[in-house]
Structure 1
Amino acid sequence: MTKKIVTVLMAVLCLGYSLTYAQQNEATVTLHLDNTTVKEVLRQMQQQTGKYFGYQSKDLEGLPRLQFQCINQPLSEALKQLLNNTGLTFIVKGNNVLIKKSKEKPAGTRQIEVTVTNIGTRAVNGRVINAEQQGIPGVSILGLESKKMAFTNDNGEYFIQIPEDETMLSFSSVGFENRNVMLDAGKNYNVTLKERVGTLKQVEVVSTGYVNLPKERATGSFGVVTAKDLEKIPVPNVLNRLEGQVPGVQLNLTESDNSFVYGNLQGNVEGNTSYTVSIRGISSISTDVNRKPLLVIDGFPTEQDIRTINPADVEQITFLKDAAAASIWGARASAGVIVITTKKGKMNDGAPHISFSAGVGFNGKPRLSSLPLMNATQMIDYEQELVDKRMITDPMNTYPANQRVISQAVDWMFRLKRGEVSQAQEDSAFAVLRGRDSRQQVSKYLLRPASTQHYDLNINGGTGRHTYFVSGAYDRENTSAKKTAGERMTLSVNQDFKFFRNITLSANLRGSWFRYTSGDPGASVYGRSTTPLMPYDQLVDDNGNRVSYSRAYYSGRLNQLEAQGYMPWRMNYLDEMDMLDNTINESNYAANLGLNIPIYKGLSFTAQYMVERSNSDGKNYHSDSSYYTRDMLNGATSIGSDGKLVHGIPTGGIMETSAYSKNNYSLRGQLNLDRNFNGKHQVNALAGMEVRQTIDNINNNRLYGYNPETQYSQPVDYVTPYTTVDGYQYTASNGQNYSSKRRRYLSYLGNFSYTYLGKYTLSGSARYDDYNNFGLDKKFRAKPFWSTGVAWALSKEDFMQAGTWINNLTIRATYGINGNISTNALPYDQLYLTSNYQAPFQTYAGIISPANPALRWEQTGVYNIGVDYGMFENRLNGSLEFYYKKGTDLFAFFPVDNTLGFDNLTRNTSTMNGKGIDLALGGSLIRKKDFEWSARLVFSYNTNKVTDARYNITNSLLQSAGVGGPIKDLPTDYLMAFRYAGLDKNGSPLIIGGKGDTLSIYQSPKDISDLKNAGRLAPPYFGSFSQTIRYKGLTLFVMATYKLGYVFQRPVPSEYPGRYGFLNYDYNNLLAQRWRKPGDEAFTNVPGLLGNGITGQVRYANADINVLPGDHIRLREVSLSYELPASLYRGLPFKNITFSGAARNLAILWAKNSDGIDPDFPPTLRNLKLPPAASYNFSLNIGF
């Protein structure tokens, strides 16, 4: 794979270099500006073309405001249009453009460079620099008497011939204050120009994926994150950089020390990710519906995960939050849309721009001290009570098949009972065990500080007919579990070609390659199971020898079996880690081709095609020495009548393979209209058609007797049952699993926006989606999604001009309908095929889900009202929005007659309302040339309520509380709890019913009033506060995030051991406070071990006393960057050099719960979430 990647990368880089020096042609510009100035138009022309514009500010004074539009127009033609009837003209020389009064235009020439010294003239030269001693290119130098002119080059150097009697030169450049310099007899004049502060506001452009438009003309709700914003948070996954950036967008990271190495490494499978992201809450109830926002990359929906994107390739990310913004995407837009636009080169950008960055990062080790574990002494005392109360029985007193594993402390207890050891020997052994803490060895041998590496190289540029952006990157991520790591290589090539003046061909190629290794147990050795690592256990003994443990049966039985010829049946954690051979190789490819053909005056046709392919191949090889293989082989082995071992499966290694592939195709054709009529009417519209197809395939397999050298396996009899070690009959499992899904979509879409006088905007969109898995009834299929919206640029009204402190004030209102679909619901029966040893070679079918002929789209109507504002030269700016959502035909469980074989079926039966507020408030507190201080507040509020559930409150919810199905008038993320009333005299929990009555464990709740609504599991209030301070080349960024108004459950013992040796250890340290004798109920709430059963355990675990507030404020990010002054590397081929350092997850600044628990990572022994350790990143960026 590496050779292929290197070959492709070298070929693409060579292509980029060769195209760099292609013939240059005149640049083109596309602008749509309302109620603007000539100066602003010139600034945007400079931004688009990369040329340097020079002019005298006084020449532009007094010119009226105007509306200006041009589409793919040559620069010279656009300048003629702009300067018509202004008394100004222009001169183009190379990469410089001079704007001057028309009477000064030299006759018959556009060349301004003078190369011959005439009589009576003299030569003057020098360098123009900024406050950081960096040369300023494109500065115009004008002799005020002679009107002779020149420009500075890329290094800020200039040369000009002027008359000997010239007394003053004027220096001017866009973005800098003009400066006049008095001349004397000298020949060299170095000049420093001051930057203008706060005079221009960059026009923000939003993208729907179909069209780009100025945000000031957008009626919908958009959130924008730029490349500059992403640079502040240096982590390999784009998604991690988005936290706290956009109001209404909530990101929850479910793993703490990694970004693209997910816990489930096949992260491209739907749902298998280490994060959740929502835009304005959820719009669907059922988990069968994809509740993640639709991801769009360069204009097309992608089925690939966002981790496949190199953050350095991203130009802008736009969040489409309401129906007017997102309805153009129809059936996939209900959960919102994330539109990623990648970087491109610029027309006429001269020589290639090369950027290289390298970075390293590291984390502290995970804090095992945060796990609520009993210490060794508490554990031994706990196990002694289990033995004394016969909750653990002596394995020697039961059948061999029931001789289950016991810990070494329990083994000593039973040996004492059998008389095999004395009390003194047990006391001596326990003294040793009580002095141990297994967390020390787990931290030393199984864990490590997580670390990252990053390298990125990109080249970009363009001529008059071709632009290019080529990038390649490599990342490595080592997680905190040793032997678990991931590598990522990304390649991106974006090119635009112009033909016949205005026809544009776009070709975007994107690839990513991953390699994962995994298998180290890490902290999972403490996970709740029958055989966890106990607090007194060791990985190596006091002499450094590795320690093995019984994990299948009691050690006495293992000794007997091994003596009969069975393979060694003990497990060693470190040996297993050394034998790890679990890898996943993943490749992702995407190609976009687009052709744009202008037709007539703003009307154009666009055809686009996209293809994506993802493949993931996993190989998990268990050698014949691994415990996994030995355990499986021994379990399938019996002793024959001749006394010899009979193997039910072949000996040798076991190879488990997994193959996943996803193919995605899209084809789109659309007509675009972008035109201004009479300077008053701006019309933007599109109409098109799109077809899409996605194909998913999953294929898993298991091979027995596998030899990695020959790559051959042994045949297995999957029909004839074999006898297990315990004497039972089983057939071999082939581990096979195959599934294939094909989804096809046909869409018709349209969108329009009309703006009058640059003030009043009306917009609308409609989309009709057809889907091959719909029901057959047309009334369910033919339901288009649509939206409409209005916007009023109030600040552009004449009556607002007197209030010069208001720079921008726009009011927006929209309404529309989006949709969603369950990819698991089908209009026909879903069957599965299987067989068993009782009917060899016979296949029978079962029903997974019965047919749903009335299958239809979920629909979500969204109202949105928003205000965008900017005041005091935009020192104070932001937006405030209110929204209301109403979901209908939502998928949810629907009770049916159980004679059908099902109690509930998923149907379009529920409705739900949601509402919220999004606030963004930014301020430039100080804005000087060398010093800037800005702050930004992001605030979001979101809630929802189920209005029609048709869901029966099941007995299981009443008995267990916690989370259940949707309940009318409650939010979807409710948490039910028991009203805890302490313990009775027997150590059993008591709860209070809805009528104030006390219920024992023998009395059941009758209805929902017997439970307490303890709160929401998702925070309704969330956001961030950030500050940026810049002093010259030094920039400091600090961001804190907050979540308020929600709850989480305290980690508590969720299950007590059962009788007869079948115990499941969950040794939460609260068990040390358990009830032990009558009277203990006065000072503890933790139930005793006997007499409670599962009911008592559940009622304590889900009691209201164990529900804690999740409100907290986290110091999420601190970054510091320093751009070296150019004077330090003058003469070297560098354009910029920047050093950066960042720290992440430094601390929780405030938490409402007093238990010291991180609400985002409650450390339960069931899922073993560890709070994030602080991470530190250092990087270097060099531009050439």
Structure 2
Amino acid sequence: MGRLLLLAGMKNFILYCTVAFGLGCYEGFSQDARVRIDTDVVLSVKEVFHLIESQTDYEFIYRPALLEGASPVKIARGEMRTGDLLDKILAPEYFSYEFYNNTIIVREKEGISGVTTAAQTVDIRGTVTDSKGNPLPGVTVLVKGGENGVVTDFDGNYHIEFVAGGGLSFSFMGFTPREVVVEAGSSVIDVQLEESVTALEEVVLASTGYQTISRERATGAFVSVAKEQLEKPASSVAERLVGVVPGLQSTVGAYGLVNFRVRGQSSLLADAQPLVVYDGFPVEGGLESINPNDVESITVLKDAAAASIWGAKSANGVIVVTSKQSKQGKLRVSVSSFVKTSGKLDLGYVNPIATGAEVIDYEQKGFDTDLFGGGSNPLPPAMFIVYPQSLAVTAMNEARLGRITPEDRDATLARLRGLNNQKQIRDYLLETPITQQYNVAVSGGGEHIANTLSILLEDRKTFFKGDEQERVLINYKNQTDLKDWLTFDFSGMLGYEKVKTNGVDLNFIHDLQPYDMLVNADGSLTDMSYLHYYMPNMEAFVPMDKFPYPDWSYNPISEIRNRDRTLTGLNSRFQAGLTFKMLEGLMFSPRIQYELFNTRGRSYYVEESFTVRNYINTTSRWNQDYDTSPVANIPKGGFLAQSKIRVRAYSFRNQLSFDRTLGEKHNINFIAGSEISDRVREFTQNPLAYGYNEKTRTIVESLTPSDKLVDWGGNSFRIPTAHGFQYDTDRYFSLYGNLGYTFDDRYTVTGSYRTDASNLISDDPEYRYSPFWSVGLGWQLGREGFMDKREWIDRLNLRLTYGYNGNVDKSTSFLPLININAEPDLYTGENTAGISDYGNPTLRWERTRTVNWGLDFSFFGRKLYGTLDLYDRKSTDLIALQSIPSVHGTDRQKLNSATMSNRGFEISLGTVLPIKGEDIVWSGSVNYSYNNNKITELYKNFYFASELSQGVTEAYVKGYDASTLWSYRYAGMVNTGTVSAPHLLPSFYGPDNEKFSFQNLPPGDGRQYLFDQGTRVAPRTLGLISSLKVYDFDFSFIITARFGHVFRRHGFNYHPMGDGNVTHVNKRYREVLDSDPSEVVPVPVDAEGQYFMWGEFTPYLDYLTVNASHIRFREISLGYSLPKNVRAKLGVYTLRFFAQANHVGGIFFNDYGEDPEYPMGNLKPQPVFTFGLDFSF
């Protein structure tokens, strides 16, 4: 019902837009439609056509071969009417054009008289088409040897009279001319022309967020993502960047969230994600807050010259996203939709548990011989009710206690051995992921106003039943010419998101034994309360029926049904600006952005849920006398937890820009401005509401702070009733400037400067106003005179840049910070606080110095093109945990004390090969990146072995890669007993190769005996993109590869047994049983009371580290566009069907079949298949 209402609302909305946009004050397809040029640029005629098509509703009819040899045109920054722009570029080339509704027909200027008047004539009619049968308007039909002729009309038809026995010639731009002899008696001659295409070089514009610069004038390292990649179906913008940008390494999470790293790691503790800029401003929510269908271009800024204009926020790189421009002209509607689905989780991979028989064998061995610590002692009758055990161990223990017979135990174990819950988990807990997305975009306007409105609707179900997401994004963009010298632009975004997380998670599934069944044979739910309690003791010694809720049963399926955990977000973003055209090339632009993001969390548990029943029962007061009835401390009824996060942010900018070519050879591009920004984040946590009634929206009674209460086990507690609050504010003030000078379109010098001040940095001006700057040189070597004879060189450009970027760690402060606890101390009743940071009085920006050498090239008409960049990055003043004298109250403190380097290179090669004109075209590109990371300065005088092996933030070590993987070297079994009474324990090598058992740690620093097995982050990455267009079909694929790194594979978990410690045996148990103890740690053969210690070492042994190199088939895409003549009959501009497959598979260079990015036991994306269409009218 809700979806029907939504669809009805969309229809009404489109109708409204049709009226609102259609009644605008515009002149249809007038030549007065304006085109905006962001910077002085040299474009080919074809590129100007593309520019006009992108900003208006015009479409051109022409063939590229007509433009062969046409001179590039210099176009100044500003706005021009379409007709004036066409006059400028076409008149010097002897072309003419004609407006036909929304179509512009371009043809050669010919001396054509309309009609021949010979005495003896024949009347010839016909149709001229291309090789696919599409009619060709504008074809010149001439009488051979004469000057008379006609031109085909819009449907490709022609009519001519001339002397019989003569010939006709047919010529059209982009096609091979054809001659036809007209025999006597002929009346109809249909002609088909063959296409002839010459590829033109692509013009790339780079946007820094503050300005747009042509590639020829840019000295920095940047990558613009291809338009074809941006048009692929995706739920987020980030998905379209994976594998296509050299130097941009991505990690795709199981739920589709993508993390990026630009040219290695440049910070130790601060945020390492690149800055996301949308339409000129950094934005809240990152790429996930942007409608991927509204994106016009994406530029990744990688070096100092490209990114330093963003100052203290740019050390991790900058991703600049530009939305599609508002359009003038009549109403146009674009619609797209797709459905994306994949299979359920592969339980054998994400939950690699042993078979039921293997689990019971392991449990039996541990229980009978006390191999695994604490399992053999009978559980005391009354004290261990809260210590659950598995069904198998419970049967073993009940037999030992004499409550059941050995025969009953053996029957129970035999039954459990034959059970397998994998199918029930798939059927009742797992969901088939599916995403449905609908997009509608409406554009139109008048001579002085342009509008675009878009709506995205998305529904998504994820891996677990009860988890789902809804998203709505509405974007509006307007540009209005108030005067010839004044333009106003406005954009707004309204986003709504609803996320439900009622399902279980992977950790819950990991905790299930293979014989833990969810439903009975008759379909009824099983009682799985044994997961929380030792039920035989509960039933024997606890008056369960006397508690507030006599029902103690538990089942995850019913729990999913009895809770509503929802996050709701209502987000908005508004941008507005004015552009004053003061003088030729000089503009002043004040702009503002305001964002308001509201997220509300609401978790409601109905009274029937186990969460409610269990908490109220276990917090009841009871004297542990079976005949005494417990007294509830908390009122019965549902639970309601609520929280709220509010983020308010604004940025205000004044910018003066100048872009002008003086004389014939001097181009100056300059911007200068000031910017202030303020961001406030507020978090509020309401106390849990007990006794809540969802229907009446009331609670039974309000709870107030109380004295200590006593629960059913005699433990003291207080009912939390205090609100939790958190308030953060970030304020920045910035001054910036950028200057570029180009001489004779060959030599370019650039420079940028920015200073940032922030409340996050020390108030000492020496540190607060640290500048960030860059300089760059560019040389268009291919335009030198001595290169003129090398016609195979299209472009050859050398670049050199040097400069500084910045970063900030928001987790520390230049003043000491304390956290005030919301609740008073349980025993003293006093309010307490703790020191969260001791303060860094010289806190300053992290700085990254980058040197970049670059080469851009294009050869043989873009049949081979690419870039090569070499870089050296040095990050200084990095925040790190540094050792300090303990007299300060701590022995470690976050200080600006570390230095790190990243050195590497990136190469990108591409080609465009027309195989048969524009009908069959193959294009491809390959990018390869190498990065070497090293911490060059860091003072820390001592490392615990656990810090290094577990890889926490304290594991950074001077002289090593920041992502180094540290391991214990396994030394086989060592005898810790005597010759007559041996006690064999696994061991590892300590200092001087001395063997230490798993029960002992060597004295001293962990660096003395742990060793580095390599980096966890691939230093070498590769991306391959290939596309093939065959008439109206297009096919493409993306392959990514990573080499030179390592990861820890899945190993046996050596799970101990004990009170409340249920054993979970994974599938590597068989490997342990079949392996040599000198190579793989075995299961103990004697009683081992310290078995729990083994888990401190076994996950971090060297033999678990394997090669992480792999090749991944990231994407395969297939599309079909209806031919133009069919679209014309249907009354649509475009109509395209597409299918796409992602996460198709990979080749993994390890012997265990594990995916290094998603190791066994972790969530792993399944192959995803997408089907959809898009059309416009």
Matched, 1:543 2:548: no
- Counterpart in 2 of 1:738? 725
Matched, 1:360 2:339: yes
Q: Secondary structure at the match of 2:543?
A: helix
- Counterpart in 2 of 1:972? 962
Change (3 A) 1:648 1:412: same
Select between 982-991 and 330-339 the one with higher mean Cα deviation: 982-991
Q: Do 1:395 and 1:402's aligned partners in 2 also have CA atoms closer than 8 Å?
A: no
Structure 2 matches for 1:390-405, cutoff 5 A? 391-392=374-375, 396-397=379-380, 399-400=382-383, 403-405=386-388
Q: Do 1:304 and 1:588's aligned partners in 2 also have CA atoms closer than 8 Å?
A: no
The one of 17, 27, 32 equivalent to 1:26 is 32
The one of 693, 706, 727 equivalent to 1:707 is 693
Q: What letter is aligned with 2:989?
A: I
CA distance in 1, matches of 2:713, 2:107: 97
The one of 383, 386, 394 equivalent to 2:363 is 383
The one of 1166, 1169, 1181 equivalent to 2:1174 is 1181
CA distance in 1, matches of 2:341, 2:732: 45
The one of 856, 871, 889 equivalent to 1:883 is 871
The one of 501, 515, 519 equivalent to 2:498 is 515
Matched, 1:1023 2:1022: yes
The one of 544, 548, 561 equivalent to 1:562 is 544
Structure 2 matches for 1:575-586, cutoff 5 A? 575-586=558-569
Select between 12-21 and 760-769 the one with higher mean Cα deviation: 12-21
Q: Do 1:558 and 1:569's aligned partners in 2 also have CA atoms closer than 8 Å?
A: no
Per the TM alignment, residue 325 of structure 1 is displaced from its structure 2 partner at its CA by 0.7
Select between 275-284 and 47-56 the one with higher mean Cα deviation: 47-56
Q: What letter is aligned with 1:625?
A: E
The one of 1076, 1082, 1085 equivalent to 1:1086 is 1082
The one of 616, 619, 626 equivalent to 1:633 is 616
Q: Secondary structure at the match of 2:310?
A: helix
Change (3 A) 1:148 1:570: same
CA distance in 1, matches of 2:92, 2:334: 43
CA distance in 2, matches of 1:39, 1:838: 76
Change (3 A) 1:98 1:402: closer
Per the TM alignment, residue 77 of structure 1 is displaced from its structure 2 partner at its CA by 4.6
Change (3 A) 1:791 1:164: farther
Structure 2 matches for 1:232-631, cutoff 5 A? 232=232, 234-255=233-254, 258-259=255-256, 274-286=257-269, 289-347=270-328, 350-370=329-349, 371-388=351-368, 389=370, 391-392=374-375, 396-397=379-380, 399-400=382-383, 403-527=386-510, 532-550=511-529, 551-559=531-539, 560-567=542-549, 568-631=551-614
Change (3 A) 1:541 1:785: same
Q: What letter is aligned with 1:327?
A: S
Deviations 1:261-288 (A, max 9, x none): xxxxxxxxxxxxx4321111221011xx
Q: Secondary structure at the match of 2:447?
A: coil
CA distance in 2, matches of 1:1044, 1:1063: 40
Q: Secondary structure at the match of 1:911?
A: strand
The one of 924, 928, 933 equivalent to 1:939 is 928
Select between 555-564 and 56-65 the one with higher mean Cα deviation: 56-65
Matched, 1:921 2:909: yes
Q: Do 1:585 and 1:616's aligned partners in 2 also have CA atoms closer than 8 Å?
A: yes
Per the TM alignment, residue 254 of structure 1 is displaced from its structure 2 partner at its CA by 2.2
Q: Do 1:858 and 1:891's aligned partners in 2 also have CA atoms closer than 8 Å?
A: yes
CA distance in 2, matches of 1:853, 1:395: 59
Q: What letter is aligned with 1:508?
A: S
Q: Do 1:858 and 1:887's aligned partners in 2 also have CA atoms closer than 8 Å?
A: yes
Change (3 A) 1:653 1:821: same
Change (3 A) 1:991 1:401: closer
Change (3 A) 1:98 1:622: closer
Q: Secondary structure at the match of 2:810?
A: coil
Q: Do 2:242 and 2:250's aligned partners in 1 also have CA atoms closer than 8 Å?
A: yes
Q: Do 2:262 and 2:317's aligned partners in 1 also have CA atoms closer than 8 Å?
A: yes
Per the TM alignment, residue 302 of structure 1 is displaced from its structure 2 partner at its CA by 0.2
Per the TM alignment, residue 735 of structure 1 is displaced from its structure 2 partner at its CA by 7.3
- Counterpart in 2 of 1:952? 941
- Counterpart in 2 of 1:262? none
Q: What letter is aligned with 1:375?
A: T
Q: What letter is aligned with 2:204?
A: E
CA distance in 1, matches of 2:380, 2:525: 31
- Counterpart in 1 of 2:706? 719
**Normalising by the residue count of structure 1, what TM-score does the alignment of the two structures yield?**
0.89
Q: What letter is aligned with 1:936?
A: S
Matched, 1:1155 2:1152: yes
Change (3 A) 1:8 1:1027: same
Deviations 1:228-268 (A, max 9, x none): 21334x3312212211111011111121xx33xxxxxxxxx
Root-mean-square deviation (CA), in Å?
3.6
Q: Secondary structure at the match of 2:493?
A: strand
Select between 766-775 and 548-557 the one with higher mean Cα deviation: 548-557
Structure 2 matches for 1:181-196, cutoff 5 A? 192=192, 194-196=194-196
Q: Do 1:609 and 1:666's aligned partners in 2 also have CA atoms closer than 8 Å?
A: yes
The alignment of Structure 1 onto Structure 2 pairs a total of residues equal to 1141
Deviations 1:911-955 (A, max 9, x none): 111112112111235532232223321211122111111123322
CA distance in 1, matches of 2:53, 2:181: 29
- Counterpart in 1 of 2:974? 984
Per the TM alignment, residue 1053 of structure 1 is displaced from its structure 2 partner at its CA by 4.4
Deviations 1:647-668 (A, max 9, x none): 2222211011121221221111
CA distance in 1, matches of 2:636, 2:596: 38
- Counterpart in 1 of 2:979? none
Structure 2 matches for 1:80-95, cutoff 5 A? none
Q: Do 1:437 and 1:535's aligned partners in 2 also have CA atoms closer than 8 Å?
A: yes
CA distance in 2, matches of 1:367, 1:63: 58
- Counterpart in 2 of 1:993? 990
- Counterpart in 1 of 2:1105? 1107
CA distance in 2, matches of 1:91, 1:105: 16
CA distance in 2, matches of 1:1143, 1:447: 22
- Counterpart in 2 of 1:211? 211
Change (3 A) 1:182 1:459: farther
CA distance in 2, matches of 1:69, 1:216: 15
Change (3 A) 1:96 1:712: closer
- Counterpart in 2 of 1:775? 762
Deviations 1:514-563 (A, max 9, x none): 11122211543233xxxx22111100122322111223321134332313
CA distance in 2, matches of 1:100, 1:544: 75
- Counterpart in 2 of 1:827? 814
CA distance in 1, matches of 2:718, 2:907: 61
Q: Do 1:650 and 1:705's aligned partners in 2 also have CA atoms closer than 8 Å?
A: yes
Q: Do 1:589 and 1:613's aligned partners in 2 also have CA atoms closer than 8 Å?
A: yes
Change (3 A) 1:85 1:716: closer
Per the TM alignment, residue 122 of structure 1 is displaced from its structure 2 partner at its CA by 12
Deviations 1:777-805 (A, max 9, x none): 11001211111111111111121121222
Change (3 A) 1:1086 1:811: farther
Select between 393-402 and 578-587 the one with higher mean Cα deviation: 393-402
- Counterpart in 1 of 2:1036? 1037
Per the TM alignment, residue 862 of structure 1 is displaced from its structure 2 partner at its CA by 0.8
CA distance in 2, matches of 1:792, 1:875: 22
Where structure 1 has 5 or more consecutive residues not aligned to the other structure, the ranges are 107-113, 260-273
Change (3 A) 1:847 1:958: closer
Q: Do 1:1120 and 1:1140's aligned partners in 2 also have CA atoms closer than 8 Å?
A: yes
Q: Do 1:1018 and 1:1046's aligned partners in 2 also have CA atoms closer than 8 Å?
A: yes
Change (3 A) 1:513 1:181: farther
**Normalising by the residue count of structure 2, what TM-score does the alignment of the two structures yield?**
0.90
Per the TM alignment, residue 723 of structure 1 is displaced from its structure 2 partner at its CA by 0.7
